[in-house]
Amino acid sequence: MKWENHSVMMEFTFLAYPSCPELRALSFLGVTLVYALIITGNVLIMVAIRSEAHLHTPMYYFLGSLSGVEICYTAVVVPHILANTLQTQKTITLLGCATQMAFFIGLGSIDCFILAAMAYDRYVAVCRPLQYPLIMTLTLCVCLAMASVVIGFFLSLQLVAFIFSLPFCHARGIEHFFCDVPPVMRLMCANSHTHEQSVLVAATLAIAVPFFLITTSYAFIVAAVLRIQSAVGRCRAFSTCSSHLTVVLLQYGCCAFTYLCPNSSYSAKQGQLLSLVYTLGTPLLNPLIYTLRNSEVKGALGRVLTRNYLSHKS
């Protein structure tokens, strides 16, 4: 990374936080509540999958991995948001901003690739059910998860190294709650079109490529399900994929609006709203969607909570 034009101690100021004390207190309480629900929901899913032997399958392995990534993903920015909400000086150093962006983009990319791995798992389960145990082995699941981590952080480090090698203008105010790509790019003094295209390529690799893999998998799934003669069989096949598809639409819809739109059409207020959705909304909805729409997970969570209650009571 080229730091010649920057001081590592250079500071940025976040401008999106409310100035009214009442609004700050309300924001702090609201974000704290949502963050607590995110951690609780995702931890419960991980504990249920680990403690229930019948959930030790590829689908739930990826679901547990997704919950772990969601916990880390929110931990990168939410505690910092909470601290800034209460502080008078809402600043971050250049190195801190680059580090936060690297982890945030990296974990978000891992999230996308794990969703693609889950789509492949559903494709094999629906389209090649007899070969499913031979194809979706534990070794393959671990390899897909590790590949998601390596590719996600590789793309993130390349993007962040590129962004922070560019010259910044004198303005140091970021119209956002944390160091995200679009608001930081607006502080650059270099040729915006060239750099915008470079960021678009990185975003395409991290978002559009796994989304293409997911849509391809679901195209084969829909074709296979439509060939099933029994209406009950079709409903059962679709129900195994509906939760995952709902999460995919939420995740990729927000990411596409944020990272695949031209910088010239970027709106600070719209970006702030979308960032709250994919930083707090999606990690909160993921465990709810998988719990409410999956009887096996609901049953496992019920047994885990019952065991914990009985153990504390005794």
- Is 3 among the domain residues? no
- Is 104 among the domain residues? yes
| pLDDT attached to residue 269 | 79
Q: Would you say 124 and 39 are in contact if contact means Cβ atoms under 8 Å apart?
A: no
Paired strand residues for 11: 93
- Is 57 among the domain residues? yes
Query: What pTM does this model have?
Result: 0.86
- Is 1 among the domain residues? no
Report the number of distinct structural domains present in the chain: 1
Q: Would you say 181 and 159 are in contact if contact means Cβ atoms under 8 Å apart?
A: yes
| pLDDT attached to residue 4 | 47
Q: Residue 171 is part of which domain span?
A: 11-313
Residue with tokens 């750099």: 195
In this prediction, the residues of the chain whose per-residue pLDDT falls under 70 are 1-9, 170-171, 190-196, 233, 236-240, 244, 260-266, 292-294, 308-314
| pLDDT attached to residue 89 | 84
Q: Would you say 13 and 172 are in contact if contact means Cβ atoms under 8 Å apart?
A: yes
d(CA 126, CA 206): 26
- Is 4 among the domain residues? no
245 closest CA partner among 276, 275, 222:
222
- What lies within 8 Å, CB to CB, of 34 at 6+ separation is 280, 284
Domain with residue 196: its CATH number is: 1.20.1070.10
| pLDDT attached to residue 245 | 75
| pLDDT attached to residue 187 | 83
Q: What is the pLDDT of residues 24-36, one digit of tens each?
A: 899 999 999 999 9
Amino acid letter, 176: H
81 closest CA partner among 279, 240, 298:
279
| pLDDT attached to residue 3 | 47
- Is 158 among the domain residues? yes
- Is 5 among the domain residues? no
| pLDDT attached to residue 114 | 92
Q: Would you say 195 and 185 are in contact if contact means Cβ atoms under 8 Å apart?
A: yes
- Is 302 among the domain residues? yes
d(CA 207, CA 201): 10
Q: What is the pLDDT of residues 210-230, one digit of tens each?
A: 888 888 988 888 888 777 777
